[in-house]
Amino acid sequence: MQTKAKEKEIFLEYLKKNGLKQTTQKALVLDTFLQTEGHLSVDDTYRIVKQKDASIGYVTVYRTLKSLVACGLAREVDLGDGRTRFEHFYDHPHHHHIICTSCKKTIEFLSTDLEQLQEEIMKHYDFEALYHSFQIYGLCSDCKHKRVSTPAAKKDETRNDQVFVRDALRLVINVESKGLSFYLAAAEKTKHPDGRAMFYKIAADEKEHLNILKAKYERLMARSKTLENEPQFLHYNAAILNQLFPPVHEIPKLIPEETNDLQALAIAIDSERESYEFFQTYAQRFKDSKGKRVFVNFTAAEKHHLAQLQKEYQRLKSVYGSQNANGLG
């Protein structure tokens, strides 16, 4: 309920700034919007609000919903039928819609491909993007096979946000596991004792970070029994991730047996930098939301790890440098 307080604060501030007045009606509509967490039409909202205050007018609901848009708590979305729907915007991931033209069921998903395409197109035509909309219309699984349509699993957007966090955690856990396997395999292949020890040390770092992420994931799962089985919300190109750490079978080619600790560090620094840079730009593409924060935090962790490795690299180099000066190299 913390975030709800934040949202109310935003609304009140918006009212104050524009010389507007607080009323019980506005509060009622806002509460309804915050609690319902779905695609609300004016009609939907009016009906719900009416139960709590029979005297409220249709137009008041209209006007209040519009001001929720104006202050950034909501956004209007057009799902193809004539009516405007309002969905949560503040601290919620931007997303796109799949709409079944037969049973009107909607599924929401998120892909940064669209933001990337938008960026490219905008740059090409010298536009400044404000927002975009992407909808796919089609037949859902049920309607396609002429089954009885399951009545639109009423996914609300708090759920969306949680699923985004789940998907984001799964992704970074996946990456971190890849990193771990890579360093372990590299250690196995390395004959040089210092190099091997260094790879094991870096692998231990990865393992530690991985455990933190896994613990976060477990905690999230513990909070909701059904979250694990929700359909995927965040979509990404798996091929990109495979480029972050080379596959295990390429390790013999990449890591010579005689790799020493300094060289091992250099290899790790390259990998970590690549990962860090990827997530740096990737995280940017998301709108503020809990899921985005997973990536932002991961990026920060990777940056920190990278800095540590670089520091260690400098330290080792100067040690070996002075050994060389002593004729020991």
Partner DNA sequence: GTAAGTGCAAACGGTTTGCATAAAG
Partner DNA sequence: CTTTATGCAAACCGTTTGCACTTAC
By the criterion CB under 7 A, which residues form the site for DNA? Answer: 15, 19-26, 41-43, 53, 55-60, 62-64, 66, 82-84
| Piece in contact with a copy of itself (CB under 8 A), picked from 51-59, 120-128, 280-288, 316-324 | 120-128
Decide: residue 299, CB within 10 A, 0-12 exposed, 13-18 middle, 19+ buried: buried
Strand, coil or helix: 151 = coil
Compute the distance between CA of residue 190 and CA of residue 199 in angstroms, rounded to an integer.
9
- Angle (nearest 5°) at CA 288 between 283 and 294: 50
Amino acid at 216: K
Asked if residue 107 lies in contact with residue 152, where contact means CB atoms within 8 angstroms, the answer is no
Give the one entry of a copy of itself, DNA, none that residue 173 binds, where binding means its C-beta sits below a cut-off of 5 to 8 angstroms depending on kind: none
3 or 25: CB nearest DNA = 25
- Residues in the interface with a copy of itself (CB under 8 A) total 36
56 phi and psi angles, rounded to 5 deg: -70, 145
Is 84 a binding residue for a copy of itself by CB under 8 A? The answer is no
61 or 294: CB nearest DNA = 61
Closest CA to 58 of 71, 69, 70, 47: 47
**Shortest reach from residue 88's CB to DNA, in Å:** 17
| Piece in contact with a copy of itself (CB under 8 A), picked from 4-12, 48-56, 99-107, 194-202 | 99-107
Is 225 a binding residue for a copy of itself by CB under 8 A? The answer is no
Residue ranges binding a copy of itself (CB under 8 A): 78, 98, 100-101, 107, 109, 111, 113-114, 117-118, 120-122, 124-141, 144, 231-232, 235
